[in-house]
Amino acid sequence: MKEKIYRDSDVDLAPLVGKTVAVIGYGIQGKAQAANARDSGVTVIVGTRPVEESPSRQQAEADGFPAYSIAEATKLADVLLIELADPVQPPIWKSEIAAHLSPGQTVCFCHGFNVLYGGIQPPKDVNTVLFVPNAPGHFVRQKYLDGEGIYGCVAVDHDATGDALAIALAVAKAVGSTRAGVVEMSFQHETEGDNFEEQILYGGAIQLMKLCFQTMVDNGYPPSFAYAKAIRSLRSVIDVMDDVGIEEYVSRRCSRTAEFAIRTRGPRVVNEEAIREIFRETERGEFARDWMQEWALGMPMLHRMRRTAAESQMEKTGHEWRREFGK
């Protein structure tokens, strides 16, 4: 069965008319969604941590939004957009949100992580939904200003009022995603799909770029040339494939030498069983468990990895490359 794609013409903003939407967390994504929703005619307020803990309160006020404590914003809102980072959501939920919810409110998450894994358990008398645009906040904002939108997804975990899906879709329209297209899925698929993508595509692609660079340098290639091949070439190829499709690029938009390399050597680079095992680990919740343990310990492994990466030859070459050859 063909999946339903919701466009602007399929979705009504009526569920948000006369309602107050509170954006909880004013980081890159929260800032973009707040601005887009306001420009769509929605009444938007912002809930942040105290000024002494976060500069986002002052930033929200400077951007023209009424800004409140998270607890006060929760009381005032009909719809809450939870735009906080995954690890900080549970303690803030317990201390500032849960006790101030009212029956009939809608809590819209930016990621299903904490609902799926039990870090947050919303009461049954509120709607629990999510809306996720498939891009960082600055792209979400820029596309909206350009009259376009970013593909996104919505999901309903609990429908207390009978119109939870309509509310989630209205949020998606207010942010601009229905201009491109929005699909409905489950909290499980959104969360596990996002986590899988981050491990395989982000993690895998970055490792490939690092290994490509280091192998060439170790074998006598100039670092600037290796950097151009490892990162700049991939960037241009991705742009073309996104525009015309993978097979069109491989068959018609690259050299025949490149096509032969892609079709005969590419599969040797990828460990299919490792990818499938990471998928199974993600489904079993092992990635989520490991990440929450790392966060609880103060991220010692990530801090160590950051220091090592920042001091690498590839990073130093990248800084020099951008200075010499531009972005």
What are the catalytic residues? Answer: 111
CA 156, CA 127: separation in Å to the nearest integer? 8
Q: Is 83 helix (H, G, I), strand (E, B) or coil?
A: coil
Nearest Cα neighbor of 314 from 237, 208, 174, 189 is: 208
Q: Are strands 20-24 and 127-133 parallel, antiparallel or unpaired?
A: unpaired
CA dihedral 266, 268, 272, 277 (to 10 degrees): -120
Angle between helices 300-310 and 286-296 (to 10 degrees): 90
Helical spans, DSSP H, in 2-116: 28-39, 56-62, 70-76, 89-92, 113-116
Structure-block tokens of residue 12: 């009504």
CA 161, CA 155: separation in Å to the nearest integer? 15
Q: Are strands 43-48 and 20-24 parallel, antiparallel or unpaired?
A: parallel
For residue 167, give Cα distances in angstroms to 11, 35, 154. Answer: 10, 18, 10
Q: Is 22 helix (H, G, I), strand (E, B) or coil?
A: strand
CA dihedral 174, 177, 181, 185 (to 10 degrees): -90
H or E element at residue 153: strand 152-158
First to last CA, the chain: 44
With tokens 């629990």, the residue in question is 128
